[in-house]
A and B are shown apart, each in its own frame.
Chain A
Amino acid sequence: MVINVKNLVKRYGDLVALDHLSFQVKEGEIFGLLGPNGSGKTTAINCILSLLEYERGDIEIFGKPMTPDAYDIKRQIGIVMQNVAVYTELTVYENIDYFCGLYVPDKALRKKLVQEAIEFTGLNDFSRFYPKKLSGGLLRRLNIACGIAHKPKLIFMDEPTVAIDPQSRNRILDGIMELNRQGATVVYTSHYMEEVEQICSRIMILDKGKAIALGTKEQLKDMITLGEKITVEAFSITDEQIQSLKSIPNVLSVHYSGNLLVIQSGKGRNNLEAVLDFIKKEGIQFGKIYSELPTLNDVFLEITGKELRD
């Protein structure tokens, strides 16, 4: 195990920020921490990294207890913080070189690593720029470059894609997967479920400091009763036909509004086929049909009764 967290409890006064949190991160995986804002993702990372005091719990990284002066462990860790943490007085190159130099004293090696980080994050054309001259997306990339230039074995990425354009976001997500392919274990926090679904091998969903679900995305979706949601652009459907649709096996609910027929089915096979058969048999005129599998938001909704984005 790369990370082993047992019974972690962190309070801010009366507020329990982390409530007996336990999980493990395996070598070579991209481990996702998913939860709404305030669910405890960043607090968990800061406790793991020994920045924050906590009331209870044991934290081990690379099999050793994590403490503020565990410099051997820190040397193998890279951090991409939620806020951009760079010096405004230094250029892009200087910022990366400065932070890389705190891990890598050898000048020649460092020069090579800094150049690689610049190329990896696509900052080649901006290496002499000061942070104030960079766009939000480029700043995020600089933030990442400062965290990964020294080639760490374990990388913590705390919401690295907040408030950036889709192009930069895709580049960052591709970069994270590339780092993982190169051998880095990644702990990735986000409240964007699409990102987590896209890149994470295992996902832990947090709510109010508690782990409410943990597994691969398939395992998480298997935890809930929902199956696919079928949406049909249909015209002139009668109340009787809606009642008949509800009686189809495995159909959980049917809504019809504005020529859109939405059928939520439970877990099971051939749900779409059964609905299409019914539409044909009844001679209902229809346009587009599409089917959506349950999302992590559905998982969160079913477990907590609220939307992930609330």
Chain B
Amino acid sequence: MFAHIFKYRMKCLLKDKETMFWTLLFPLALGIFFNLAFSGIGKGETFQTIPVAVVDNEEYRNDTVFQTILQEVSSGEDPLFHLHVVSEQVASKMLEDNQISGYFVAGSPVTMVVKTTGMRQSIIRSFLDTYIQNMSLVSTVMQKNPKALKALTDDLFHTVSYLKEVSATDAKPDNVASYYYVLIAMACFYGGFQGSRDISDIQANNTDTAARLNLTPVSKMKTFLVYMSASLLIHYIKMLLLLSFLVFVIKVNFGGKVGFILLTTLLGSIAGLSFGAFVSALLKKSEGIKIAVIVGTSMLMSFLAGMMYQGMKYIIQRNVPVLSYLNPLNLLTDAYYSLYYYDTYTRYAVNMGCLALFIPVFCIGTYLIVRRRKYASL
């Protein structure tokens, strides 16, 4: 009997286009969208040499200190400036045409001209401020020990960090990966669509086929368990497909703990299915409203777990830490996160333990609601 019901349930679920869309195609599309949106995110953080000019006037030609400093910061492997020595007219024209970000005019004091404000202009301004503040020191070094000028400019114009970034694991910091962890966690919870359908298909007051099933010599709970087994198998396969797509196509790094990643995805799929079943059993509303509630709740949980804004996860953690543990989707996301970043399993175990607690809550709640054997109305 199990095999008979299981076989036909699989056929029904595999041909259910709406569920297929929400549980597989939508997360895949979202993954592609994330990939497009995040593909340029690292480039903005790479420093690029700033094109500047200095007006080739008499003051500049006489100011050997300033000349030397500018040449120092405009040479080497990663120069700060790409320097043009031109007339004021040319400098002004170059600035107008956006060929340079600003230009210096030597004198007492040295001034700078920029067209707009921005990161590059701030760097030019910072350089000039540092130069003016330390101009006398530079002059003295130039006169008494010119060979020490290189070391001085390095000190003045390059900040030294006394903190060294040391990774706790071999994992490279990846700001984008967290978004994909939320994505797969959300997809796991979209298994709620299948859980919801499983409930609708056994409750006689929901669908005609369920009413017919309730009149057969097979117990409702037995049918439900078979339905959930079929749903879990299909949903888990979908999640593995999504995981494979993220890892092999989009190149998201989930770390090397494959067994734990698969276990996390399985637990997430079970939690998602039981969540949907619970919502469907709890709401005595139409199928559309149930789906809307599942989508809405999953989206809200995804938002709080950092899907739309990564900082949200930390805001919640800092201000309402208990909410982090009450959001099963956040627990799932954090489980993937800790698998990637940590060598130890303490944080992972806490996340998985808390997530696992939700499953009996959803299942017992569902059982208590659907166990009724007769209905007040159909």
Which of A's residues lie within 8 Å of B, judged by CB? 12, 46, 49-53, 67-69, 71-72, 74-75, 77, 79, 81, 83-87, 89-90, 94, 97-99, 101-103, 105, 146-147
Contacts and interface: CB of A to CB of B under 8 A. Distances in A.
14 contacts: A12-B377, A51-B215, A51-B375, A52-B377, A53-B374, A69-B373, A71-B218, A81-B211, A85-B211, A86-B209, A89-B12, A89-B16, A102-B217, A147-B212
Q: In this complex, which of A49, A81, A87, A97 has the most chain B Cβ atoms within 10 angstroms of its Cβ?
A: A87
Interface string B1-41: 10011001001101110000000000000000000000000
Given A77-B215, A99-B216, 10 more contacts: A52-B377, A68-B214, A71-B217, A83-B208, A90-B11, A90-B12, A98-B8, A101-B4, A103-B216, A147-B212
Contact of A99 (B11, B212, B373, B376): B212
B218 A53 contact: no
B378 A52 contact: yes
Nearest to A85: B208
Contact of A87 (B12, B215, B373, B374): B12
A126 B16 CA distance: 22
Given A84-B208, A85-B208, A49 B215 contact: yes
B106 interface: no
Nearest to B213: A102
B200 to A, nearest CB: 12
A51 B373 CA distance: 8
Question: Max chain A CB contacts within 10 Å: which of B15, B216, B373?
Answer: B216
Given A51-B211, A81-B208, A74 B15 contact: no
Contact of B15 (A89, A99, A105): A89
Interface string B190-227: 00000000000000100111011111111100000000
A81 B8 contact: no
Given A51-B375, A52-B375, A53-B376, A79 B215 contact: yes
B111 to A, nearest CB: 77
A77 B374 CA distance: 18
A68 B373 contact: yes
Interface of B: 1, 4-5, 8, 11-12, 14-16, 204, 207-209, 211-219, 373-378
B211 to A, nearest CB: 6
Nearest to A70: B217
The majority secondary structure among interface residues of chain A is: loop
B178 to A, nearest CB: 37
B212 A74 contact: no
B376 A52 contact: yes
Contacts of B219: 69, 71
Contacts of A46: 378
A90 B215 contact: no
Contacts of A86: 209
Contact of A102 (B11, B208, B216, B374): B216
B344 to A, nearest CB: 47
Nearest to B214: A51
Given A52-B377, A87-B12, A89-B11, A105 B212 contact: no
B371 to A, nearest CB: 11
Interface centre among A68, A71, A74, A90 (most CB of B within 10 A): A68
B208 A68 contact: no
Contacts of B207: 85
Contacts of A102: 1, 4-5, 213, 216-218
B12 A103 contact: no
A51 B374 contact: yes
A128 to B, nearest CB: 14
A90 B212 CA distance: 16
A90 B8 contact: yes
Contacts of B15: 89
Contacts of A67: 373
Nearest to B218: A102
Contacts of B216: 74, 99, 102-103
A87 B15 CA distance: 11
A75 B212 contact: no
B217 A75 contact: yes
Contacts of B213: 102
Given A53-B374, A103-B217, A94 B8 contact: yes
Contacts of B378: 46, 51-52
A276 to B, nearest CB: 54
B205 to A, nearest CB: 9
Nearest 8 Cβ contacts at the A-B interface: A85-B208, A68-B373, A89-B15, A71-B217, A102-B216, A85-B212, A74-B217, A89-B12
Contacts of A53: 374-376
A71 B213 CA distance: 12
A259 B219 CA distance: 65
B225 to A, nearest CB: 15
A49 B215 CA distance: 7
Contacts of B374: 50-53, 68
Most buried by B among A12, A79, A85: A85
Nearest to A80: B212
A301 B181 CA distance: 70
A87 B209 contact: yes
